[in-house]
A and B are shown apart, each in its own frame.
Chain A
Amino acid sequence: MTSAFFALFAALTAVAPPGTPDAAALLRDSDRARGGLAEGVSWTLTVESTEEGTSTRRTMDVRARNTDALAETTAPPRKKGEVILFNDRNLWFLKPGLRRPVAISARQRLQGEASNGDAASTNYARDYTGTVVGDEIVDGEPVWKLDLVARSKDVTYDRIRYWISKRRRLGVKAEFLTVGGDLFKTATFEYGNRVRIPGGQEIDFVSKMTIRDAMGAGGTTVLTYESPRAETHAPSVFNVNNVVR
């Protein structure tokens, strides 16, 4: 609570650099390139995790619409049919043989794949109040540095440090902090994909996200986004009751 207060205080009293853009608009633009399209987008996602010398690989078909997403595992065969559903701020896990989905609360998402899925799907514009606190160079590219403070208690991370490209308006790096202010995970983003959205405009779309655990064994997860395409998904696709059936 105290750290959140100080973060908010620092954010409110920070002197923004000259020519500072609107933080909310920056977040909206960067979210769009990570799947936050109003009508919908689909892609194939490969998740490769390495921890303590053990590697796992999983492939998923992902459908997303605005702040909702549905990821269904297609490989390996023993995990086939497992579904992770992000519906508004709720996260559900389903697999064949379960009568009911498993609800995963914000604080329960801090472990394993749920954590990485959560980091990947975080909707910054909706869940966080952003403040531009400076400008830096990341991998040779000028970026705005934003300090994000959670709008409510039911989000996973209280604070995120987020770097957004000045030219491309895309998130290139994020640091997820614990309640105590310690670094929990870091993420870097690459945008090698293009998606044509309704209206004919083509936008950059995320192609790779690398998440590193800053705590514990220091595992690494690489999410590779392939074949992204704009598609219209009905809101009912992301209704947990429809997924269970």
Chain B
Amino acid sequence: MTGAWRLAFRNLRRHRRRNVVTGVAIALGYMGLVVLGGYAGWAERLIRTGSVYMQHRGHLAVYAKGGLKRAEAKPSAYVAALRADPRVAHVGRYLIGSGIVGNGCKSFAMRAVGAEPDLERRLASHPEMIAIWGRATGPVSGRAFFDAPGAEAPVVVAPRLARALEKARPSPGGVPATADAPLDCGAPDVRQRLAADPFVQLGARTADGSFGAAEAQVVGLYRPASTEEDKTALVAPIELLQRLYDTDRVTYVAAFLRDHRDRAAVERDLAVRLRDAGVDVSIHRFDDPVANPFYAGTMAFLGALVLFVVLLVANVVAFSVLNAMTLAAIERSREMGTLRSLGFTRTQVRGLFLRESALLTITSVLAGAAFAAAAALVVEAADVRFEPPGSGTPVHLQFMPAPEVFLGTGGLFLVLTLAATFIAVRRKVRTPVAELLVEVAA
């Protein structure tokens, strides 16, 4: 430690009470912002992984031109172009459709997603999914549709829809003997009969405008990504839905990237490649407000909230430091005069105060980082679970901030406190030495 730093350290200790108060303000402010940053980062990962993996959007979704509303993509050209890109980890075809699902007595509206079973199996065990969603990635009961060997046309349905269909306890095993027996919907035991029958009938308007139907076996219940879908959601192998809608087309092709930060570059390159190949498409990233207004809207709200809190906390910290350093400068006028008369330049005197401020900030930030990490660990250990608004899935609250949040917030605080200190002592060090020596603190 040089002489100037040693002197600054001693000065900090001399004015312990005031510096402790200022340091606590900095530490708590830092802790608050770091925890908020950790929460915002976790929420972003939660919504992103929910959109990309659970809602099957992928990081990029490639539709036929204008195909957001119509199932008309002929995907071979897109799939080949996406698979050729080393930044793309997985490529999947999806068919989205509406219709009805019935149990032989009653039917209910459904919104069906057709997906490729092998891909869904890989996505369900994706490390990012496991890290954020944990156990929520698995079925609520029964099995996932890609994990039901022997089942005929396996599907999974959302819990409320399952209850309406009397399929709340799915059995992914074989076909019970009663499944083929006639059903009297007016019989007193009809609910038990329906519960024992794993089959449902899907009905929908086909691509040619006629009415189509297909049979499916409910093998499990799954948590949809939003409460709205709880009454209508059903996920099935894409081949089953293509049979139902009597089409060989898909709604879109999704690309799952190795690093989500590459999405803009991959989108740009893919657009160029497909345009050169004469393929007219619409490419939508998961953060596209048109394709995913929930993600875009939530992140905009979260961003505004974080900015507001950052401004609030930064102001409090800056004014605390400004106040403390202004008082220090006034109280230590004689000391400043003495140092100047001993040959210290104005810059050196100012530097002494700035060093004191830097030491105070670094110490407080380190303490705040320790508090923040401890708070995150306590919350992690407490296993707090809650359902985010609009989500039908309970998630494990986590907000251990990323290293860049710690470093970025620390850097911000250092700049803030040094600027506040500079402003506080700037005028004082310009005061003539004789005046400083006779000045009496109020």
Contacts and interface: CB of A to CB of B under 8 A. Distances in A.
A102 B102 contact: yes
A201 interface: no
B107 A98 contact: no
A155 B103 CA distance: 21
A111 B205 contact: yes
A56 B209 contact: yes
A117 to B, nearest CB: 8
Interface residues of B, number: 27
A103 interface: yes
A129 B153 CA distance: 45
A91 to B, nearest CB: 10
A116 B100 CA distance: 17
A101 B201 contact: yes
Interface string B2-44: 0000000000000000000000000000000000000000000
A245 to B, nearest CB: 6
A113 B209 contact: yes
B199 A112 contact: no
A170 to B, nearest CB: 29
Contacts of A99: 104, 179-180, 197, 199, 201, 215
Given A100-B183, A100-B201, A104-B100, A93 B209 contact: no
Interface string B153-190: 00000000000000000000000000110111000000
B76 interface: no
A97 interface: yes
A58 B179 CA distance: 31
A49 B205 CA distance: 13
Identify whether the interface residues of A are mostly helix, strand, loop, or mixed: mixed
Interface string A84-126: 1000000001110111111111001001111000000000000
Interface string B203-229: 101101111011100000000000000
A192 B433 CA distance: 118
A51 B100 CA distance: 22
A244 interface: yes
A103 B105 contact: yes
Given A49-B209, A56-B210, A113-B211, A108 B104 contact: no
A134 interface: no
Contacts of B210: 49, 56, 58, 79, 112-113
A73 to B, nearest CB: 9
B240 interface: no
B234 to A, nearest CB: 14
B379 interface: no
B261 interface: no
A219 interface: yes
Contacts of A100: 102-104, 183, 197, 199, 201, 215
A2 interface: no
A241 interface: yes
A103 B102 contact: yes
Contacts of A108: 100, 107, 109
Contacts of A105: 100, 106-107
B286 to A, nearest CB: 30
Given A95-B213, A101-B104, A102-B100, A245 B205 contact: no
A39 to B, nearest CB: 26
A54 interface: yes
Contacts of A56: 208-210
8 contacts: A95-B213, A97-B215, A98-B201, A101-B102, A102-B102, A103-B102, A103-B106, A112-B211
Q: Which of A101, A114, A241 has the most CB of B within 10 A?
A: A101
Contacts of B104: 99-101, 103
Given A56-B209, A98-B214, A114-B205, 17 more contacts: A49-B210, A56-B208, A98-B215, A99-B201, A99-B215, A100-B104, A100-B197, A100-B201, A101-B104, A102-B202, A105-B100, A108-B107, A108-B109, A112-B210, A113-B205, A241-B184, A244-B182
Interface residues of A, number: 28
Contacts of B197: 99-100
Nearest to A240: B185
Interface of B: 100, 102-107, 109, 179-180, 182-184, 197, 199, 201-203, 205-206, 208-211, 213-215
Contacts of B202: 102
A168 B106 CA distance: 40
A103 B107 contact: yes
A104 B203 CA distance: 9
Q: Which 10 A-B pairs have the closest CB atoms?
A: A100-B104, A112-B205, A102-B203, A103-B107, A102-B201, A102-B102, A113-B211, A111-B205, A56-B208, A113-B210
Nearest to B98: A111
A94 B201 CA distance: 10
A49 B106 CA distance: 28
A50 B203 CA distance: 21
A112 B213 CA distance: 13
Contacts of A241: 182-184
B60 to A, nearest CB: 29
Contacts of A84: 211
Contacts of B180: 99
Interface string A122-151: 000000000000000000000000000000
A130 to B, nearest CB: 29
Nearest to A107: B109
Contacts of B182: 241, 244-245
A101 B106 CA distance: 9
A203 B205 CA distance: 36
Contact of A114 (B106, B199, B201, B211): B211
A112 B97 CA distance: 14
Nearest to B105: A103
A213 to B, nearest CB: 10
A115 to B, nearest CB: 9
Nearest to B109: A108
A9 B210 CA distance: 38
Contacts of B201: 98-102
Contacts of A219: 209
Nearest to A112: B205
